[in-house]
Amino acid sequence: MLREFSRGRLGSISAKCYAYDDEFGPVFDDADYDKQCALIREENIRLLADFADWLAAAGLSATTIRGHRYNLDFYLNHFLIRSDMLRASEGVDCVGEFLGDWFIYKAVWSSRNSIKGNAASLKKFYAFMAERGLIKPEELDALRKQIKEELPDWLETLERYNAPDDDPPDGWPFTRDSPQAHAAEPKALPSDRSC
């Protein structure tokens, strides 16, 4: 159901969207959407620069800092913006969805080490956010607990995804031998058509 938009879930986003859908959130026209994404990306650039300074003050090497920034740029500027146009502070609750699903299926470089590295980057980043008062300490505690408890499941999902001879991961609608899989196979195009 569409209704007039009044702040809603996006908090301080200043551009006007023309409607709000109760199920899907704010509905922007293309120009407004692009403006909002650009504003969030600018905010993320500043956050990542401050985060890098924070890591440097803690004595981390330039290579380690660069790795954390790379991981966080992907999370903040690709996953959070594309999935729901969320700010970094709103993304603390999305880490499980990112590492346990989206990253595994979307990042061709996903591996055990990259999942663990992203988990470490996200813990450090949200510790920085909590220290700055940008998220609540309880949110950081919940994030740390979630990563500790769910990391083995995320790694197992990755292993199943990367093992094509085994059963497909949970959530895949069909197995190779199911009748639905054969019914879903594309039909041959007529010979007079070309792609």
Residue type, 114: S
pLDDT digits (tens, 9 = 90+) for 114-172: 999 999 999 999 999 999 999 999 999 999 999 999 999 999 999 988 886 656 556 55
In the chain, the largest separation of any two C-alpha atoms, in whole Å, equals: 66
Structure tokens at 175: 């197995």
Residue type, 156: E
N-term to C-term CA, the chain: 39
Residue ranges of the domains in the chain?
43-165
Taking the C-alpha atoms of residue 28 and residue 115, their distance in angstroms, rounded to an integer, is 33
Q: Report the pLDDT averaged over residues 16-44.
A: 71
Yes or no: say if 99 and 112 are a contact pair by the CB < 8 Å rule: no
The pLDDT score that the predictor gives to residue 171 is 58
Q: Is the whole model's pTM more than 0.75, yes or no?
A: no
Alpha carbon of 148 to those of 31, 144, 180, 184: distances in Å?
40, 6, 37, 38
Residue recorded with tokens 């769910």: 150
CA atoms within 13 A on the CB side of 192: 0
